[in-house]
Each structure stands twice: as C-alpha cells, then as structure tokens.
Amino acid sequence: MQETYSYFIHINDTLRMSQSQEYILDVRGLSKTFSGIKALDNVQLAVRKGEVHALMGENGAGKSTFMKILIGLLKPDSGDIFFEGAPLQVKNVHDSLKKGISMIHQEILMVPELTVAQNIFLGRETTRFMPGWLDDQTIYRKANEILTQMGVSLDVRTPMKYLSVAEMQMVEIAKAISNDAKVIIMDEPTSAISDKEVATLFSIINDLTKKGVAIIYISHKMDEIFTIADTITVLRDGRYIATHSATELDTNRLISLMVGREIDSLFPDAVELGGQEAISVKNLGRKGSFSGISFTVKAGEILGMAGLMGAGRTEIARAIFGLDRFDEGEIAVNGNLVSITCPQDAMQHGIGYVSEDRKALGFIPNMTVKENITLGNLSNYTQGLFIQQKQEAKIASEVAENLRIKTHTLDQKVANLSGGNQQKVVIGKVLLASPRIIILDEPTRGIDIGAKSEIYKLIRQLTASGIAVIMISSELPELVGMSNRILVLSEGKQTTILSKQEATQETIMAHAMPH
C-alpha cells in the first residue's frame, strides 16, 4: 500500500513537471477584489509555447483585470503564476517586460507629444556615448524597420497625437512585438483597424507563433477567434468556466459558454399596456458613432438596448438627451417632431436620463440625499434667493419614501449610501422633473443582486404609471427579463429589434457580434 501511494505521488510530480515545461504560462487560483466586488475569483489559464490562446467572456467577465495582473499593472489578492516553469513575481510593468511579457492595451496607451518611434521604444531607449544619453537616430531607424516589416507606412517622426486611432493601434502593435517578448497579450487589438490591417496583424501573429511566441488574444469578434485561435478559455463573472481546443467549439457553443446563466424570477412580470407612442426616433446618426437608428417606444413599454462595449449605445442615449449633437435623423415626442440641442430641451420635452457613470455624472457625493434629489429642480422650491427648506425636505422625503431609499436621515451624505440606494437617489432626481420618457443607462451596474431586484421593481413601477423606458444594459439576463422589445446594435449600426418571444441571450449575442 505504502509503495503504491508514493508511486502515485511520484507520477503526479512528473506530470506536473512536464506540464509546467509544456506551458510557458500557467496561472492557478488567481483572485482579485475591488472594493468588495470580486473581479476575479479563482481563475486559471494555461498557455502553451507558440499557440494563440483566446480569452473569451462578456463585458465585465474579468478579462482585462486578469491581463493587467499578468503585466504587473495590478496586484492579485491571491493565486500562483508560473512563467517558464518558475513562479513569476512582477512588481511592475518594468519587471514583466524584462521577463518577456508584453501587452497591446485595449485603451491605446500612448504619450501624445512624443513621436511614433519614441513611443514604440518608450521605456527601452537605446543610448550612446554614455549611459542615459539618448540615441534617437537608432530608435528612428529601428522603428522604421519594424513598421516597414509590418507593411505600415508612417513617418516615425510624427508626434503621436497627429495619428488616427487606427494608426495608433498599429503603433501599439509594433511596440508590443518589438520587445522580443515570449508572451504577447493582445486586448482587442483590432477594435479600430480595417480588414486589411487585421490580415497584416494575423500574418505577424503567424510569424511570431512559429518562433515559439505565445499569444493571449482577447476579442469580441467571433470570426477572428475561429480564424486565429488554437485554444479558447472562457471566463464568466470573474470565474473560470472552461478551456477547449478551438476545433471542439463553434460560435453557438462558445456563446452559450460565455453567457450561460439561468434567468430566474428576479424580474417582476411585465404589465401589458396598449399605450400610445411616447417617443419615435427615425434614422438617427452621428458621424463616427452610430447611424441608421430607428425605433419607437410606447408609454409603459421598456425598450432594451443591447450591444457590445463601443457599439454606440451610450452615444445614442446622449444624443437623444441632447448631450451630444446628432448629424442626421429626427426625434418625435408624442407624435410631434422636436428639436433637441441641449439637455434642457430634452427635459422640457419630458425626457430624463440616468447616466451609466453614476459616480461621475449622477450625484454629488458630499451633498446630502435631500440636496441631491432636489438639485435638478431647485428653482421649484425657492422663493427669491432662498431655498424653501421645509418644502424641499417634504418633497425629498416623498421621493425617498416612494423609491424606498434606505437612509437614516435625508441629511446623510450620498457618498455613504450603498450603490443601490445611490442609484435610487439619481433616479429620484430625474423623476422630480416628471419625465414621460426615461433613458436608463446600465441602471444596475456595480449593484448587488438584492438591490438589483429593488431597481427592477422600481422600473416596473415607472412603466405602470405610463412612463416609457429605454434601458441600456450589458447584462443580457436583465435585458431579456425586463424588456418588451430589444434593439441590438453592432458597431454603431442597428442590426435588429427582437420581440419578447425572439429575445434570448443567444439571439442577442448573435446579432451583437461584429461580422
């Protein structure tokens, strides 16, 4: 018995040894928490030498956080990372670059005033004469070589800020591959470049993998994944779901792994209301953001708006609310064409907007619940120069009661409330203007599940009183559970409007994926 036992241990050890040799990067049990919210929970990933390993997941699945830990921009709470079989300790990006891990960042990270070449070699400058003396001649020559090899024609002496987004992305790619890295992380490397440039990138990736470089590839574009990836790992809600060889999967199977959640009774039943058309949008477009957006929302109806990050959802909301100008199309409220050039116009026509960025645009953290609620309509509670304190307090307490805002007193600072209650304060503020149409942009982002159901009930309450709701959300279960119809966007274009019967997470994803 004893013999056999140790024999097994021995086998296990050899197995692990060979595994860690086979995998250039092996991550186990990685966790990261941001202010109480688990961004990554016990995540694993094993990348072989010379493979393209796709990392897939919905928005907020934790992909970018994961990669920022690998590159040393964030520190994990727990977990082990093995690089070339040895534990990897990176204190900062300097360490990880030295070890041979580089990254193409989704948000293009460039110094605008420096030139193309200076950006490519930033942090890795060549020197001459003496330590610390810049040799820009060599930097320009090398940068030119790299870009020529990539088939990109760019003057390497141009300051970065004069480049288009596509050009910047190509420079970002050049920067990552010029580092002679063993592992290159590519986070949405093709979000801004054209098909021709994507082809260039793919041939570069092929050359790199032949040399044994491993690529971790993150993209929302399904066709890209199945063209380039050897292995696919799926994350969902910060947790590891599965790793498969790319040949074992197809688009549908991958999407169901990515979304795979059960819809529960979190969502109160819709109230059927044959209301009148509250808002109609025809052919709305804004250069560079979105175009051809047409929909109507009836009183008491919820129109969901789905799409990947950058599909143009928030931009549409901002245009309707008058925060941004639109170049084409028209908006009608209650059947009458209206002109909206600023938020005041929109509010006058009964449109309210609850921003996705609650903290930046929704409330003033150091002001009290009462002050925040009445802030938008303060002129209604003033006489001459003075605020009618009693009236203000009365209105605010009515709102707080209606929306069930949990706070000890109305004089509590909003900063001290929970996320869910903060969101209710923001909604309460918007409601005080008595809107007939409300645009909710990610109304439950960063809110825990209990508070979510409260917000859902509140939204139903609004529709029951005849308010038309446009709800933008990245959480598909929420969209499917709440919406009467769902408008799906892909890369700034409206791809479809799904009815309640047609709308499932899979159909939404299929229409949201760029092709």
Partner 1 sequence: MKNEPTSYVNQIGNTYRLRTRGIGKYGIVLAFIALCIILSVMTPRFLTVANLVNIFTQVSINALLAFGVTFVIITGGIDLSIGSMVAVAGVVAALFAHPDTYPVIVPILMGLLAGLALGALNGFVITRTKVPPFIVTLGTMTIGRGLALILSKGRPVSNLSDSFNFIGGGQLFGIPMPILILIIAFAVCSILLKKTVIGRYMYAVGGNELAAEASGIRLNKVKMVVYTLCGGLAGLAGIVLTSRITTGQPNAGAGFELDAIAAAIIGGTSTSGGVGTIMGTLIGALLIGVISNGLDLMNVTSYYQQVVMGVIIIGAVVLDSLSQTKK
Size of the site for partner 1 (CB under 8 A): 41
The nearest distance, CB 281 to partner 1, in angstroms, is 21
d(CA 296, CA 327) in angstroms, rounded, equals: 19
Closest CA to 357 of 455, 431, 426: 426
Q: In the complex with partner 1, which residue's Cβ is closer, 95 or 277? A: 95
Cβ-based nearer residue to partner 1, 69 or 97? 97
Task: Give the three-class secondary structure for 243.
Answer: strand
Give the three-state DSSP class for 248: helix
Q: Which of 194, 247, 252, 283 binds partner 1 (CB under 8 A)?
A: 194
b/e 335-370 (16+ beta carbons within 10 angstroms → b): eeebebeebeebbebbbbbbbbebeeebbeeeebbb
User: Is position 133 an interface residue for partner 1 (rule: CB under 8 A)?
Assistant: yes
How far is residue 169's CA from residue 262's CA, in Å, rounded to a whole number?
37
The single-letter code of the amino acid at 30 is L
111 part of the interface to partner 1, by CB under 8 A: yes
Give the CA-trace dihedral at 221, 226, 230, 236, to 10 degrees: 50
- Contact flag: residue 222 with partner 1 (CB under 8 A): no
Q: Is 168 helix (H, G, I), strand (E, B) or coil?
A: helix
Taking CB under 8 A as the rule, which mask of x and - marks residues 231-270 in contact with partner 1? ----------------------------------------
- Binding of partner 1 at residue 198 (CB under 8 A)? no
The DSSP symbol for 365 reads: T
Angstrom distance (rounded) from CA 141 to CA 109: 22
324 contacts partner 1 (rule: CB under 8 A): no
351 strand-pairing partners: 437
Residue 162 interacting with partner 1 (CB under 8 A): yes
Per the DSSP assignment, residues forming a β-bridge with 485 are 303, 499
- The whole-angstrom separation of Cα 306 and Cα 453 is 20
Q: By CB under 8 A, is residue 218 in contact with partner 1?
A: no
Q: Residue 195 Cβ, how far from partner 1 at the closest point, in Å?
A: 9
Q: How is residue 43 annotated by DSSP?
A: E
Piece of 14-22, 119-127, 309-317, 371-379 that binds partner 1 (CB under 8 A): 119-127
Give the CA-trace dihedral at 382, 385, 389, 390, to 10 degrees.
-50
Which of the residues 44 through 103 are near partner 1 (CB under 8 A)?
Answer: 71, 73, 92-94, 96-98, 103
Among 18, 78, 127, 227, binds partner 1 (CB under 8 A): 127
Q: Which is nearer to partner 1, 126 or 412 (CB)?
A: 126
Binding site for partner 1 (CB under 8 A): 71, 73, 92-94, 96-98, 103, 105, 109-114, 118-119, 122-125, 127, 132-134, 161-167, 175, 192-194, 287-288, 491-492
